[in-house]
Structure 1
Amino acid sequence: MRPSTMNAYNRLPHAPDCDCSVCWSRREMAKPARSQSTLCAQCRPAYAVPIRTLQMGRVAGIWKPLLSEWKVEPAFICEKHTRPDRPPKYWSVVLDTGRPEPYVPIHEPFELVG
């Protein structure tokens, strides 16, 4: 193909039900990411709210609470979003041939046979 014909070919519109890698990638990128960091309806962040004020004071002419009693609600993370104790094992030993032998360079001259 000539270069001008190739450019015209590359710019042809794809069919709506096209299964080429370009169209598949475009469809996959359009889907929302299902990340483990996005929390579900069961997970909730930690939060703290003041229950009552124990001591007030004037700060720059405005009365503000200086000491309060707080209610702290710890975070809850469901089992699906809880991180594992150890990182996943990405590789394993296929064949263990024993202790590695040290590399010993050859300092003697040698001749090629053949």
Structure 2
Amino acid sequence: MRPSTMSAYNRLPHAPDCDCSVCWSGREMAKPAPSRSTPCAQCRPASAVPIRTLQMGRVGGIWKPLLSEWKVTPRSFCVKHEPNARPPKYWSVVLDTGRPTPYVPIHEPFELVG
């Protein structure tokens, strides 16, 4: 194809039921993320709020708090986003052959009896 017809081809609209890679990836990207880390309305992030200023001082000619008491609220999760009590298992045993056999070096030559 010539360049002018190729650019004209690229601008053609796709059919609503088109199954090409461009349309498929566009549909997949439009789906909501099924990630467990996506927060919902019941999940609450951690926060820290100053409740009382203990010491003030002049910084650059402006009075600013130098020492404060803070109220810290830990984050909380809903039942769906609650993290596991144990970390994920990244490695599993493929074949367990029992206890390992210790290596004992033999310093004396020997002959096989057959």
TM-score relative to the length of structure 2 = 0.55
Q: Which runs of 4+ in 1 moved over 6 A?
A: 89-92
Structure 2 residue 81 is matched with structure 1 residue 81:
yes
CA distance in 2, matches of 1:91, 1:21: 39
Q: Shift of residue 66 of structure 1? A: 1.5
Structure 2 residue 75 is matched with structure 1 residue 72:
no
CA distance in 2, matches of 1:98, 1:55: 66
Task: Please name the residue that 1:108 is paired with.
Answer: none
Task: Please name the residue that 1:61 is paired with.
Answer: 61
* Structure 1 gap segments, 5+ residues each: 5-10, 100-114
CA distance in 2, matches of 1:48, 1:73: 6
TM-score relative to the length of structure 1 = 0.55
Task: Please name the residue that 2:42 is paired with.
Answer: 42
CA distance in 2, matches of 1:97, 1:56: 65
Task: Please name the residue that 2:52 is paired with.
Answer: 52
Change in 2 beyond 3 A, CA 1:49/1:88: same
Q: How many residues align?
A: 89
Q: Secondary structure, in 3 states, of the residue corresponding to 1:28?
A: helix
Change in 2 beyond 3 A, CA 1:13/1:61: closer
- Partner amino acid for 1:69? E
Aligned residues: CA RMSD: 3.3
Residues 24-67 of structure 1: CA distance to partner in whole angstroms, max 9, x if unpaired?
44422322322211101111111111112122111222111112
CA distance in 2, matches of 1:67, 1:13: 63
Which stretch shows the higher mean deviation, 27-36 or 43-52? 27-36
Q: Shift of residue 21 of structure 1? A: 6.6
CA distance in 2, matches of 1:52, 1:97: 60
CA distance in 2, matches of 1:74, 1:24: 41
Which stretch shows the higher mean deviation, 21-30 or 55-64? 21-30
CA distance in 2, matches of 1:66, 1:73: 21
